[in-house]
Amino acid sequence: DTGVSQDPRHKITKRGQNVTFRCDPISEHNRLYWYRQTLGQGPEFLTYFQNEAQLEKSRLLSDRFSAERPKGSFSTLEIQRTEQGDSAMYLCASSLARGSSGNTIYFGEGSWLTVV
């Protein structure tokens, strides 16, 4: 069990460029979540998947954001035409749906995005 891994850990991009983050969940976990966290705030929910199905998207997830989990394993979060307000840490997390761990969600180390 290597935990939730995210790549890249840091990304600096110019406003207007597209960026993509990748998340590899804990191997047996069928749920995968994306959160956004800005300095001094708690994480805010963006979206989550159960297997390959995207079950919920937050209103925070504008049309410029898209997330995929094509084979129910890793996931990507793409931000198109980045804006300075997109600067934040993007956290990925995973869990088992129900089961003995009872909705406990495990987080990766996050991907820092800075838009200049």
CA 80 to chain CA mean position, Å: 15
25 binds other proteins (CB under 8 A): no
Could you tell me if 6 and 110 are in contact, meaning their C-beta atoms sit under 8 angstroms apart? Answer: yes
The least distance separating other proteins from the CB of residue 57, rounded to whole angstroms, comes to 11
Site for other proteins in 52-111 (CB under 8 A): 55-56, 89, 91, 93, 97, 102-110
Cα gap 96→105, rounded to integer Å: 8
Rounded CA separation 46/76 (Å): 13
13 neighbors 19 (Cβ within 8 angstroms): yes
> Which positions from 4 through 23 interact with other proteins, judged by CB under 8 A?
none
- Based on the shown chain and the rule CB under 8 A, indicate whether residue 43 belongs to the binding site for other proteins: yes
β 44-50/31-37 pair status = antiparallel
Kindly state the DSSP code that residue 22 receives in the 8-state scheme: E
- Cβ distance to other proteins smaller for residue 50 or 80: 50
Task: Tell whether residue 41 is a contact of other proteins (CB under 8 A).
Answer: yes
Rank residues 80 and 87 by Cβ distance to other proteins and give the closer one. Answer: 87
Binding footprint of other proteins on the chain (CB under 8 A): 31, 33, 35, 40-45, 48, 55-56, 89, 91, 93, 97, 102-110
